[in-house]
Structure 1
Amino acid sequence: MNTVTLSIASREDVTQRALAAFGGERQGAHISFVSVELLWQTLTRKRWELLKSMTSEGAMTIREAARRVGRDVKAVHGDVQTLLNAGILDRTADGRVVFPYDAVHVDFTLTKAA
């Protein structure tokens, strides 16, 4: 199964993971956010629904993605742009969009505020 891990990570954490990968240590697919607030700002409920509808489905047009979630094409287009900018979706050579994973794992720890 091709799983992506969404996490909260500092620049140092990301650098350490990259260095470990360069050293031959398998890291798997990761998309990191600097804060939990940014993760939730980026991955709204409607964007989660969009990702769910695209999981394991291959490349599709934005119009097809909108049809799958029963939403307006223009609104889905805006969500797709946000997800592309965040590195969560990819665009194919023919202009389609793809969420190239079979599963999503979200990994962060909530602690007491300082």
Structure 2
Amino acid sequence: MNTVTIDVRTLTDSLSDFAQAWKSEEASEPRISFDSPELLWKILTAKRWTILKAMAGSGPISLREIARRVERDVKSVHTDVHALLNAGIIERHTEGFSFPYDAVHVDFLLKAG
């Protein structure tokens, strides 16, 4: 199964891991990182999670097909898909949009302070 981990990490930590992965011959796990839980929830709203779920493992699909799968109007799905695209979470192809993972693992710690 092709799984991506979504987490909350500082830019410094993310760049450090990237540099280590660049030097290593082993493939690292795919990861999408956010600088704060607030930014994660701002980008990944409940409706956008539904879009990712509908797109997972599907290959490129059209905007209209995404709207049909999530049972929403094309205009509002367009706004959400482009927010996910701009955040680097989904990809654009000539055939449509894709979320190139079968599953998502979310990993972050919420602590006082």
Q: Is TM-score (shorter-chain normalized) higher than 0.5?
A: yes
Question: Could you tell me whether the CA contact under 8 Å between 1:4 and 1:29 is conserved in 2?
Answer: yes
Cα distance, 1:95 vs structure 2 = 4.9
2:108 maps to 1:112: no
Equivalent AA in structure 2 for residue 5 of structure 1: T
Residue of structure 2 in register with 1:103 after alignment: 103
Question: Could you tell me whether the CA contact under 8 Å between 2:60 and 2:95 is conserved in 1?
Answer: no
Cα distance, 1:27 vs structure 2 = 2.1
Equivalent AA in structure 1 for residue 35 of structure 2: V
Distance in 2 (alpha carbons) for counterparts of 1:3 and 1:26: 13
Ranges in structure 2 where 5+ consecutive residues have no aligned partner: none
Residue of structure 2 in register with 1:18 after alignment: 18
Where in structure 1 do 4 or more consecutive aligned residues deviate above 2 Å? none
Distance in 1 (alpha carbons) for counterparts of 2:54 and 2:18: 30
Distance in 2 (alpha carbons) for counterparts of 1:74 and 1:9: 32
Distance in 1 (alpha carbons) for counterparts of 2:100 and 2:54: 12
TM-score using structure 2 length: 0.95
| Equivalenced residues, count | 112
